[in-house]
Structure 1
Amino acid sequence: MVDLIQQRVLSAISASVELSPITILKAEAGMTPVPTIKSALASSHFNILISDGDWRTGGYLAGLQTLIDGELSWAKENRPKLVEAAQQSLKRLFPLLDSDAFTVPKDLTNTSSKEERTRFYHHEYQNKLLVGLAEFLINCVKQRNERHIIVIDRAAALSGSARNLIKLLVRLDDDGRLFRFVLIDYEQRLYFPDASEVHFGRYSSQELGPTFDPDLAPEKHRQIYEASGGNPLIAEALSKCAAAGLPVIGYLDPVAIVDLYLAGLDTGERHVLLKSYIESNCTTTDLIAQRNYAIFEQATADHLHEQLHQACLERYLAGKAPLVMLHALSIRDKHKRLELLAEPSQILQSIGLYDLWFGYFGELFADPALRTYGSGDASVNAAFINAAFVLYSLGCGRVSVPYLDEFYKTFPKSRYTPTVLYAQSMTYARYQQPVNLTLAEEYALRNLETIERDFREHEKYDYIKVFAENAYAYIKAKQQKYGEALAFCAEGLGKMLKAYGDERFKLHQSILIYNTSQVYELIDELSRAEKQLREAIAYDPYYGEYHNDLGNLLSKVAGREAEALEAYARAIELCPPYYEAHLNRAALRNRMGDTAGVLADLDRTLVIKPNEWRAHFEKGNVLMRQDRPKAALESYLAAAEINSKNADLQSNLGLAYSELGRASVSIAHYLRALELNPWHAPTHNNLAIEYFNEGRPDMSLNHATVAVEIGEDPDYLLTREHIEKSLQADLASRRDRASASSAKPV
């Protein structure tokens, strides 16, 4: 069937794969391009992997899971050190994965029970995990000396995580030869920057010949072909309808003909067809089965989906299959759909795959009937509250705040009420910009009152209250009432130890200790801050963020730079690719004069997060100190593409342009810096120099004077003195010339 169409697309696919790492093949739904692609690529020197990209049936990394499983299996057997190096990404992306190569235990965020988990991953965490996974795959492929072409069918249904992983594999493939992707798009909406696009076209009548019933007359073949529009899915269904005695005539839509065919089946036959289709994860390429599913009685289909969802979830939890969510998502009863999605949503949330989670949960969150569904104590209510928690930490308080208020009004006696009020207090104290500490305190106090009134007899009363007091302690610290904040933290830890010992709710105990450290650091009691932070690390030794904070703390103490470097190294070891620790270590190395180390850390930061403007900015600063203004300018411009509203950056852009002899551009950036910060002393000083060199001494002196008045750098005074002396000399010279011109000869 594919011989003729191969001739139309073979050269296009082959050429595209050679030229571009990503080829998008646009095809009409119902076409069958995979055999054609396999034939087109058969002579290539790549390994060809065929996969399905629909995340609902293949898990959150569907389309790439076959590659991942293959490389992981090989590495476990042959290169366990590669698994060990990437373990912090692998074990967190795949929580049920186990390997003898794993050498670092999980942190408390990963090991705490549902009731004890009080810490969420930052929204950037997913990118770090994917960078670690991409680097693992690249290292495996390099070790095996392989090249892959990955053909992904139904690629429009790739998860956001899988799409980002494809982009990372392309970006991190230094020599550009390890991976090629052919993405089949039936929905005409798939987009990747710089991807090549090939259009598949339609089959000819001869190519569709094998799909027709051989007993049908040639005229029937012609009618079926015209009605199908060259689409094999439609042609095959119409051929079956015609064989059953239904007329395939031009004025009846193909779907109508299929409906008439279904009308001729009894209920039992249709139920068997329905069951078979659902059990295939709704992937059967049979238009009759698809249409039967679409119009079948809803409750029956929902019941079958529910049974299969439970079986799929059990297989996932047993580590035997990916997280298949098709069946839960296909339930047409929205209340039942929400109930079945509660547990998978928690799984995605615990990994940190927020884009995928909100890809379907956003619709549920917007449904008024679902927002108030449940008893107030049910798992569906917890799913919504968890969503609100993450939303407010993402800066979406305008979305989460109304929901939390609505929940509190609807279910004032819910067991989740303290969690809701806690979230509100933290929204206003921390995540809303600008913060509103007055309102934050109102919610915190209301929470404490509610706990005393309604939760006094609760088995977790002490934990619930201490959790609420923790929020209040944060607010007190923001109000600069540090003594009260410290008291809440210390008393809370004492209550927890007395009520539960040092094992239960261990994660929250470590957080209390950590918060105490943060307060001590705010009041510059660094030795106490260090003691508390080290105690938090003792509770949760494999939580890399604590080690990063220890590095930040020690870097403030003269003579302890080596210890700070050790802490940063430990943080990097314990976390998925951790750009913040590299950025922080670069700052310390900069102070220590380790230029090579600074550049190494900044370059690593930009591998992990190319749009981290601070890394571009600091790299520009290093290059300026190396007297490389042209290279520095490139880094500054890259930073400005991401964040142009930083006075330091605009000032340094001005300096780089000045060094390159482009005075007018330099002055423009200096002026932009002063728009952003009128009291930016270095800019006033540099602008004074630029104006002086331009022959504009009066303006030069004005800026030099401002620099001296607001800055403490002695160089500013030297700049002003130089300008003043020059002006005085110029004035004296003009006086001398005026005196000479007025003298009369004897």
Structure 2
Amino acid sequence: MVDLIQQRIAPAILSSVEINPITILKTEPGMAPVPTIKSALASSSSDLSVVDGDWRIGGYLAGLQELIDAELRWADENRPKLVETAQQSLKRLFPLLVSDAFTVPKDLTNTSSKEERTRFYHHEYQNKLLVGLAEFLIRCAQERNERHIIVIDRAAALSAPAKNLIKLLVRLDHDARLFRFVLIDYEQRLYFQDASEVHFGRYSLQELGPILDREVAAEKQRQIHEASGGNPLIAEALSTCVAAGLPVIGYLAPVAIVDLYLASLNTGERHSLLKSYIESDCTTPDLIAQRNYAIFEQTTADHLHEQLHRACLDRYLAGEAPLVMLHALSIRDKYKRLELLAEPSQILQSIGLYDLWFGYFGEIFADPALRTFGPGDAPANAAFINAAFVLYSLGCGRVSVPYLDEFYKAFPKSRYTPTVLYAQSMTYGRYQQPVNLTVAEEYALRNLETIERDFKDHDKYDYIKVFAENAYAYIKAKQEKYDEALTLCAEGHGKMLKAYGEERFKLHQSILIYNTSQVYELVDDLPRAEKQLREAIAYDPYYGEYHNDLGNLLSKVPGREAEALQAYARAIELCPPYYEAHLNRAALRNRMGYAAGALSDLDRTLVIKPNEWRAHFQKGNILMRQDRPEAALESYLAAADIDPKNPDLQSNLGLAYSELGKASESIAHYLRALELNPRHALTHNNLAIEYFNEGRPDISLNHATVAVEIGGDPDYLLTREHIQASLQADLTSRRDRASASSTGFS
């Protein structure tokens, strides 16, 4: 398509970009807005780039991948320390990325083979990765003194991770305007809060002139313009049809005219047009090619897509290109599409990009025909099992449980049957709320029976059985049968060592040892818990979560606070931005009297996860102890916006308002706390004080009495005694006044 420049809305684009970090340009397909945007921003001092946002073609961070690649190349050569600092996010988002700046080896989650990978990421993990990546890009821009304007074409096709990364770049930019985005939305459905929206107008006949055949009569040009609705994509297609001898008849829709043009081509020409269109990743801005693709015989198109998908996957696995999924997703035979999506889905799952994965796999998971497709042992079946595994851990047991039951009935002899029964036992025993330990145990025992009956001769029999016993051990621990749980874990590890040595299935061996530590911690045998946890760390030394748990354990042991701080520091070093470790370290630092360090950790937590109410709450508590009730109130209110039903938080809001002399607000929050927890002793005590100060001693005494009865804290007793003494003094005073008055009258 010939470049068109439509100056009419250029000023609107320019002013919007200057004001807002995100501008959404609303237009219809084929309107070719990019030349206009380039013209509008030509004089900008920022680095201007135009990219395609379709994740199916450009990978899961399409729209930003070019920027990421460029900054990685620059930082690797010029500022390797930036790569080193962000390495845990970079290497996990891009598993095939290699850099000399990487200094920390991968943990077992990332290095284990598919058959051994029994650990997967929490759904919040993705945000941590993206925070680390956003901070890397911002630091690169700062070091290079660069400002970017990124124009993303087809932005409605941005992946969820890419959209979140854009939001993070804007949020973490701190108004430095290092990054500004123009998002072109052809589907009229893109939304970013606080973004500016500009609507792109239609082209006039004069503006369409460059793509209309000058030898065509003026009246014919007018007809083409009218039929196209001022859309250059349609106008160009109609011009081609006219040049081929087809008339632009007013009562025929443009698509009908294009269909007639296609009918004039022979099969070879149609096939060649189809092939070139698919090889362009279906991006050719040609309505005739698009229409030919839409109506061409399905099997031929599917075959071409399959060939290109396999080539694209090979390029990704060789580290030469992003993960291109367009061709697999474009297969119209849904069974073949499922087969081709199995491996890319596993890749997205292993990174933790669940929102993107389920963006297309949810439809597949809901298809009755696909749910039981295949022999039961194929990669396509594994894709469903993996989806169910992640779903139950996300709290979607009502979705995963029916599928797992359905799979078990359809494929009782599948090699995935132990995994299915394991998932069911864990759904009922761990992830479903409330848990149902009876049903969980039934599934665990059925799994063990199935393994003994059907997998005795399997080459991984010991691994499969120990894996199932691990679930049973968890259930026993939840049933408070700790000795049985410990025995299962210890014997399981012994079986693994005997069957496979220390190297094979090393990830699962570390999990078994870790689980043993957890049980010891539950029975308050902290020395043994620590011993087992350190052994798990020896197996998997670069798994940051183990170090966080070590910090939590050591923080319970008097005199070992310094070691706990070291463990938290190691966890933070080994993980992508790890808000949990900061939150835990803040609690310990606060307990140690290191308020500044605690506040620093809490601020870092809120950078990573702004809606972490516990961080706002803890921050408010520290500020209250520093006699800063106004600042504390701000933190408490932020926490209450996220979790308004926490009685401790409502009680502390009452205290903050009380310190600021706002009695009515204070009483309202105290009463709200008691609605949530009528036996909240501290609230009763504080409410007693507030009512007493308000001159309502009778109701004050009632609350003070309840506080003493529930809590038994000496301070509560003092509050009640003070109120009682005041009431008694008041009573005595009234009696004295009454007596004096009586004497006077006599």
Does 2:35 correspond to 1:50? no
Report the equivalent of 1:522. 522
Contiguous gaps of at least 5 residues in structure 2? none
Report the equivalent of 1:207. 207
Report the equivalent of 2:686. 686
Give the conservation status (yes or no) of the 8 Å contact 1:27–1:199. Answer: yes
Give the conservation status (yes or no) of the 8 Å contact 2:5–2:36. Answer: no
Return the alpha-carbon distance in structure 2 between the equivalents of residues 698 and 459 of structure 1: 77
- Residue pairs, 1:465-504, within 5 angstroms: 465-504=465-504
- Residue pairs, 1:183-222, within 5 angstroms: 183-222=183-222
Report how far residue 713 of structure 1 moved. Answer: 2.4
- Residue pairs, 1:231-380, within 5 angstroms: 231-380=231-380
Return the alpha-carbon distance in structure 2 between the equivalents of residues 421 and 99 of structure 1: 41
Code of the residue aligned with 2:91 in structure 1: it is: K
Code of the residue aligned with 2:257 in structure 1: it is: I
Report the equivalent of 2:81. 81
Report how far residue 298 of structure 1 moved. Answer: 0.1
- Measured against aligned partners, the alpha-carbon deviations of 1:455-497 in whole angstroms (never above 9, x if no partner) come to 0111000000000000000000000000000000000000000
- Residue pairs, 1:510-659, within 5 angstroms: 510-659=510-659
Return the alpha-carbon distance in structure 2 between the equivalents of residues 331 and 74 of structure 1: 38
Return the alpha-carbon distance in structure 2 between the equivalents of residues 49 and 396 of structure 1: 41
Report the equivalent of 1:384. 384
- Residue pairs, 1:222-233, within 5 angstroms: 222-233=222-233
Return the alpha-carbon distance in structure 2 between the equivalents of residues 273 and 85 of structure 1: 48
Return the alpha-carbon distance in structure 1 between the equivalents of residues 713 and 200 of structure 2: 67
Return the alpha-carbon distance in structure 1 between the equivalents of residues 41 and 442 of structure 2: 66
Q: What's the Cα RMSD here?
A: 0.9
Return the alpha-carbon distance in structure 2 between the equivalents of residues 19 and 611 of structure 1: 27
Following TM superposition, the consecutive aligned residue runs of length 4 or more in structure 1 with deviations greater than 6 angstroms are: 1-4
Return the alpha-carbon distance in structure 1 between the equivalents of residues 74 and 714 of structure 2: 63
Code of the residue aligned with 1:183 in structure 2: it is: L
Report the equivalent of 1:398. 398
- Measured against aligned partners, the alpha-carbon deviations of 1:41-77 in whole angstroms (never above 9, x if no partner) come to 0101100011000000000000000110111100000
Code of the residue aligned with 1:293 in structure 2: it is: Y
Return the alpha-carbon distance in structure 2 between the equivalents of residues 590 and 157 of structure 1: 45
Return the alpha-carbon distance in structure 2 between the equivalents of residues 216 and 235 of structure 1: 13
TM-score (norm 2): 0.99
SS of residue paired to 1:377: coil
Give the conservation status (yes or no) of the 8 Å contact 1:667–1:690. Answer: yes
Report the equivalent of 2:120. 120
Return the alpha-carbon distance in structure 1 between the equivalents of residues 709 and 534 of structure 2: 43
Code of the residue aligned with 2:736 in structure 1: it is: D
Report how far residue 176 of structure 1 moved. Answer: 3.0
Between 1:732-741 and 1:550-559, the stretch displaced more is 732-741
- Measured against aligned partners, the alpha-carbon deviations of 1:509-546 in whole angstroms (never above 9, x if no partner) come to 00000000000000000000000000000000000000
Report the equivalent of 2:720. 720
Does 2:500 correspond to 1:508? no
Give the conservation status (yes or no) of the 8 Å contact 2:4–2:32. Answer: no
Return the alpha-carbon distance in structure 2 between the equivalents of residues 744 and 731 of structure 1: 20
Return the alpha-carbon distance in structure 1 between the equivalents of residues 422 and 675 of structure 2: 39
Give the conservation status (yes or no) of the 8 Å contact 2:5–2:35. Answer: no
Does 2:155 correspond to 1:165? no
Report the equivalent of 2:664. 664
Distance change >3 Å, CA 745–CA 696, structure 1 → 2 = closer
Give the conservation status (yes or no) of the 8 Å contact 1:685–1:703. Answer: yes
Report how far residue 744 of structure 1 moved. Answer: 4.3
Return the alpha-carbon distance in structure 2 between the equivalents of residues 415 and 349 of structure 1: 20
Give the conservation status (yes or no) of the 8 Å contact 1:21–1:176. Answer: no
Report the equivalent of 1:9. 9
Does 2:92 correspond to 1:92? yes
Distance change >3 Å, CA 486–CA 681, structure 1 → 2 = same
Report how far residue 745 of structure 1 moved. Answer: 6.3
Return the alpha-carbon distance in structure 2 between the equivalents of residues 712 and 466 of structure 1: 49
Report how far residue 260 of structure 1 moved. Answer: 0.2
Code of the residue aligned with 1:621 in structure 2: it is: N
SS of residue paired to 1:123: coil
Contiguous gaps of at least 5 residues in structure 1? none
Return the alpha-carbon distance in structure 2 between the equivalents of residues 430 and 487 of structure 1: 20
Report how far residue 2 of structure 1 moved. Answer: 7.0
Give the conservation status (yes or no) of the 8 Å contact 1:170–1:176. Answer: no
Does 2:102 correspond to 1:102? yes
Report how far residue 664 of structure 1 moved. Answer: 1.2
Code of the residue aligned with 1:197 in structure 2: it is: E
Code of the residue aligned with 1:670 in structure 2: it is: Y
Code of the residue aligned with 1:336 in structure 2: it is: K
Report the equivalent of 2:132. 132
Give the conservation status (yes or no) of the 8 Å contact 2:5–2:39. Answer: no
Code of the residue aligned with 2:519 in structure 1: it is: V
Give the conservation status (yes or no) of the 8 Å contact 1:544–1:570. Answer: yes
Report how far residue 214 of structure 1 moved. Answer: 2.4
Code of the residue aligned with 1:497 in structure 2: it is: L
Give the conservation status (yes or no) of the 8 Å contact 2:3–2:35. Answer: yes
Return the alpha-carbon distance in structure 2 between the equivalents of residues 130 and 217 of structure 1: 56
Return the alpha-carbon distance in structure 2 between the equivalents of residues 362 and 305 of structure 1: 22
Report how far residue 561 of structure 1 moved. Answer: 0.3
Between 1:705-714 and 1:10-19, the stretch displaced more is 705-714
Return the alpha-carbon distance in structure 2 between the equivalents of residues 2 and 276 of structure 1: 21
SS of residue paired to 1:206: helix
Return the alpha-carbon distance in structure 2 between the equivalents of residues 43 and 268 of structure 1: 47
Return the alpha-carbon distance in structure 1 between the equivalents of residues 439 and 479 of structure 2: 12
Code of the residue aligned with 2:577 in structure 1: it is: P
Give the conservation status (yes or no) of the 8 Å contact 1:629–1:656. Answer: yes
Code of the residue aligned with 2:314 in structure 1: it is: E
Report the equivalent of 2:18. 18
Return the alpha-carbon distance in structure 2 between the equivalents of residues 607 and 593 of structure 1: 23
Report how far residue 215 of structure 1 moved. Answer: 2.3
Code of the residue aligned with 1:674 in structure 2: it is: L
SS of residue paired to 2:6: helix
SS of residue paired to 1:207: helix
Give the conservation status (yes or no) of the 8 Å contact 1:274–1:293. Answer: yes
- Measured against aligned partners, the alpha-carbon deviations of 1:710-740 in whole angstroms (never above 9, x if no partner) come to 1142211111111011011011001101111
Report the equivalent of 2:62. 62
Give the conservation status (yes or no) of the 8 Å contact 2:595–2:622. Answer: yes
Give the conservation status (yes or no) of the 8 Å contact 1:397–1:427. Answer: yes
Code of the residue aligned with 2:299 in structure 1: it is: A
Give the conservation status (yes or no) of the 8 Å contact 1:2–1:207. Answer: no
Identity %: 86
Give the conservation status (yes or no) of the 8 Å contact 1:473–1:488. Answer: yes
Return the alpha-carbon distance in structure 1 between the equivalents of residues 430 and 505 of structure 2: 24
SS of residue paired to 1:25: strand
Report the equivalent of 2:676. 676
Code of the residue aligned with 1:264 in structure 2: it is: S
Return the alpha-carbon distance in structure 2 between the equivalents of residues 712 and 527 of structure 1: 33
SS of residue paired to 2:284: coil
Report how far residue 4 of structure 1 moved. Answer: 6.6
Aligned length in residues: 745
Give the conservation status (yes or no) of the 8 Å contact 1:2–1:36. Answer: no
Report how far residue 3 of structure 1 moved. Answer: 7.3
- Measured against aligned partners, the alpha-carbon deviations of 1:58-100 in whole angstroms (never above 9, x if no partner) come to 0000000011011110000000000000000000000000000
Report how far residue 249 of structure 1 moved. Answer: 1.4
Return the alpha-carbon distance in structure 2 between the equivalents of residues 477 and 577 of structure 1: 31
